[in-house]
Structure 1
């Protein structure tokens, strides 16, 4: 992982690990797919990821009046993915689909006759969608993975592509930007990647729900006081307990994330 200010640039394997080690409290039901259009592939030099991200944020703040960059994630032609607006924050991606959404901007112009998606980029887009489905326990369908083109810009209603819409994520994005094109050209790719990304669960169902009762509660990679800390949870956060062991509680179904049970209610 490399960082520049608020932005973090990861390989897909690093993004996979980051998702496994991070606890999210926001309910996510929809993964939005967009293309930037501008900047396009011609703007990408192979090393100017952060310059492009800063430029996008400047546009979103100064020209659009947003509080920060609109998207949670950005994918690049070299197959990397950037963490942008925190995933815990609602994006400014699709009117009508932001509240429980995550916004992915795929750098490039994927309308017909414009940028030709690199193989590395194609695979990254598929895997980012699959890994998010794994993390938020979503089944890839055209209800959980959506395109900007399917929503009316004025009303925010999902129309399937009629009304005042953008072509985003591009008329040539994985075979087209229609619902049918997504169903035949994109969703099967995500399903295949998801099947490879899902590990055997440690425990398939939670034992109970609990609330953090400490100002900051350390989450560790093992159930012991000297184990490395992967994150901290604030007081009042609700967690699911999947395993109790010697006073420690595992709070993730597929990853070793442990907290001291004395600080859970």
Structure 2
């Protein structure tokens, strides 16, 4: 995590924790997706996240904005930077700001522009999913929206007709139309929401065993050359998740092994 003034750079894990730990005073009903166009990938050096946000803010101030327009910026390495407070209405889409939350995805995602990195692709999907879940919103094109769908003059939603920007880009997850979002973007967000709410079931133990020695060493791999991590006492019941060369793994995911020689199998 890196902080400078209001700008806070976070990993996806840190952002999820921050989002769930904070309360917000403003009702959020629309998640706006944009691309920065400039700055793009050529301007990103891997460690200048906040400097680029400061540069964008200077540009926005020159255009008459009160501060940086977006609430959040997603970078090519998958990190995110908090920008304008979530409690402050963004300056993202004329006609859709009141209950909006503005995400700027760094890059030019028009056809022929930047090729989105896998890390940024994952982060964009994850951020949208976490925001929908946090604010209790459905995954559809009424709640996940593109700048391209609003007319710049009237502030009315036209789904791409009239005087519009290409933002978030004609190649953004397959295109910037409503149909493209429904086909190439929303299913990924929905899958990410499902993965978060329905984590994989934990591994099931193969059987149980009872320790039959005064103190049974726990090692980090199956063998006497493994580093000792602790011990279990005589009579302890252990869940056995894997058997390998006479050694038993006693943790569902971590490498925690004991010698099967000192464990009596219980049915």
- Shorter-chain TM-score: which interval? 0.7 to 0.9
Q: What is the alpha-carbon distance in structure 2 between the residues aligned to residue 198 and residue 135 of structure 1?
A: 12
Aligned residue number for residue 46 of structure 1: 46
- Asked if the contact 1:134–1:197 (Cα under 8 Å) also holds between the matched residues in 2, the reply is no
1:68 equivalenced with 2:67 (yes/no): yes
Aligned residue number for residue 250 of structure 1: none
Displacement after TM superposition at 1:140 (Å): 0.8
Aligned residue number for residue 121 of structure 1: 120
Q: What is the alpha-carbon distance in structure 2 between the residues aligned to residue 198 and residue 6 of structure 1?
A: 31
Displacement after TM superposition at 1:5 (Å): 1.5
Q: What is the alpha-carbon distance in structure 2 between the residues aligned to residue 108 and residue 118 of structure 1?
A: 10
Aligned residue number for residue 167 of structure 2: 168
What are the Cα deviations for residues 69-101 of structure 1, in whole angstroms up to 9, with x where unaligned?
000000000000110000011000000000000
Q: What is the alpha-carbon distance in structure 2 between the residues aligned to residue 87 and residue 129 of structure 1?
A: 14
Aligned residue number for residue 143 of structure 1: 142
Count of matched residue pairs: 199
Aligned residue number for residue 176 of structure 2: 177
Structure 1 runs, 4 residues or longer, greater than 4 Å off: none
Aligned residue number for residue 84 of structure 2: 85
Correspondences of 1:215-226 after superposition (within 5 Å):
none
State the SS of the aligned residue for 2:95.
coil
- What TM-score does the superposition give when structure 1 sets the normalisation length? 0.74
Q: What is the alpha-carbon distance in structure 2 between the residues aligned to residue 40 and residue 140 of structure 1?
A: 28
Q: What is the alpha-carbon distance in structure 1 between the residues aligned to residue 121 and residue 72 of structure 2?
A: 15
Correspondences of 1:204-223 after superposition (within 5 Å):
none
Aligned residue number for residue 95 of structure 2: 96
- Asked if the contact 1:24–1:88 (Cα under 8 Å) also holds between the matched residues in 2, the reply is yes
> Which structure is larger by alpha-carbon Rg, 1 or 2?
2
Aligned residue number for residue 20 of structure 2: 20
Which consecutive unaligned segments of at least 5 residues does structure 1 have?
201-265
Displacement after TM superposition at 1:122 (Å): 0.1
Aligned residue number for residue 10 of structure 1: 10
Which consecutive unaligned segments of at least 5 residues does structure 2 have?
200-267
Displacement after TM superposition at 1:107 (Å): 0.2
Displacement after TM superposition at 1:197 (Å): 2.1
Q: What is the alpha-carbon distance in structure 1 between the residues aligned to residue 135 and residue 197 of structure 2?
A: 12
Q: Could you say what the CA RMSD is over the residues aligned between the two structures, in angstroms?
A: 1.0
What are the Cα deviations for residues 145-174 of structure 1, in whole angstroms up to 9, with x where unaligned?
000000000000000000000000000000
Q: What is the alpha-carbon distance in structure 2 between the residues aligned to residue 167 and residue 42 of structure 1?
A: 20
State the SS of the aligned residue for 2:101.
strand
State the SS of the aligned residue for 1:192.
helix
State the SS of the aligned residue for 1:160.
coil
